[in-house]
Amino acid sequence: MTIPRGRLELLLSILLFVVFVLGWEAACVLLEVPAIVVPAPSAVAVAMYAGLASGELVTHFWVTFAEVLLGFVFGAGAGFVLGVLVGLFPLMERTVYPYIVAFQTLPKVAIAPIIVIWFGYGMESKVVITATIAFFPVLANTIVGLRAIPREQVELMVAFTASRWQVFRMARLPQALPYVFVGLDVAIVLSVIGAIVGEFVGSQAGLGYLILQRNFNLDMAGVFAILIILSLMGIGLHLAVNAVQRRVVFWMASSTDRVMGA
């Protein structure tokens, strides 16, 4: 009986995880590693269960999740719109794009305190910080995607009296969508980092705020539990973007399936 390739890969991934966790637990026990340095997986599991049972982790999770989603939506939306303008109009590239790049080179950790001062310690400042991080990957990939279309295809459509809007809607945008989704995939993962950076700088709630509290109390098992939750959040959002991509850029998935089946 032959095991399907996808199921075999899933089993190998689960086996690798089990081996890693067991090795981590064994190393902590045999080497007598202090819990304040690296907690054992069993201690992390206990801390996670306690946080979930009390509702503390759930409450702070939804705060961070909302910051991530809102920042991603605003940042990705602005990146796509500006990417379209820069990709279609050379004047925008010569006049506006250099300032965008200059802003992007600023370390977000350095400007995060300024944003917190401007927008306060509430959710607004975290959304702005997250948006600034999610913005550039979508912008850059949108520009590259719009310019990836063969010149001959554009010239052929223009020869058949297609308007600029028709060329964009029927040729440039479909060609750019795979690139745009690459940018969205990068942006959604970076958005988690952006929200946590904002919460580190100044916040009253969220998983980043909780990490600072548990660090102060030297609760490393609690910190590791939160880090695992953040990882699961990032993986879930990544899979969500990929699911949307498979539905929107359906021709790309079909081509990949044909190549793998060949």
Tokens 């950076």 appear where? 197
* Residue 21, domain member (yes or no): no
* 121 vs 192: CA distance, rounded Å: 18
Q: Look up residue 200 and give its two tokens.
A: 């580190």
* Residue 222, domain member (yes or no): yes
* Residue 33, domain member (yes or no): no
pLDDT at 206 over 60: yes
Give how far Cα 203 sits from Cα of 42, 83, 110, 122, Å.
30, 32, 16, 6
* Residue 184, domain member (yes or no): yes
The predicted structure's pLDDT at residue 260: 36
The predicted structure's pLDDT at residue 254: 47
* 210 vs 18: CA distance, rounded Å: 28
Report, as an integer, the average pLDDT of 10-37: 87
pLDDT tens track for 34-77: 888 889 999 999 999 998 998 889 999 999 999 999 999 999 99
pLDDT at 239 over 90: yes
Give the side-chain half-sphere CA count within 13 A for 183: 27
The model's confidence at residue 258, banded by pLDDT at 50, 70 and 90, is very low
Instruction: Find out whether 46 and 223 touch, Cβ atoms under 8 Å.
Output: no
pLDDT at 180 over 90: yes
Rg (CA), the chain: 23
Instruction: Find out whether 180 and 138 touch, Cβ atoms under 8 Å.
Output: yes
Q: Dihedrals φ, ψ of 127, to 5°?
A: -65, -40
Across the chain, what does the average pLDDT equal?
86
- Torsion angle in degrees (nearest 10) through CA of 15, 17, 19, 21: -150
pLDDT tens track for 79-109: 999 999 998 888 888 888 888 888 888 888 8
* Residue 18, domain member (yes or no): no
* Residue 170, domain member (yes or no): yes
* Residue 132, domain member (yes or no): yes
Instruction: Find out whether 84 and 142 touch, Cβ atoms under 8 Å.
Output: yes
The predicted structure's pLDDT at residue 83: 92
Query: Which of 206, 61, 209, 69 is CA-nearest to residue 131?
Result: 69
* CATH code of the domain in which 236 resides: 1.10.3720.10
* Residue 16, domain member (yes or no): no
Q: Compare 257 and 13 and report the one with higher pLDDT.
A: 13
* 146 vs 181: CA distance, rounded Å: 13
Q: Which residues contact 140 (CB under 8 A, 6 or more apart)?
A: 83, 183
Global pTM value: 0.85
The predicted structure's pLDDT at residue 148: 82
Domain that holds residue 79: 40-261
The count of domains in the chain is: 1
pLDDT tens track for 107-164: 888 888 888 888 888 889 999 999 999 999 999 999 998 888 777 777 777 777 777 7
* 229 vs 170: CA distance, rounded Å: 41
Task: Report H helices in the chain.
Answer: 5-30, 41-54, 56-88, 90-95, 97-104, 108-119, 123-146, 151-159, 164-167, 173-201, 207-216, 220-248, 250-261
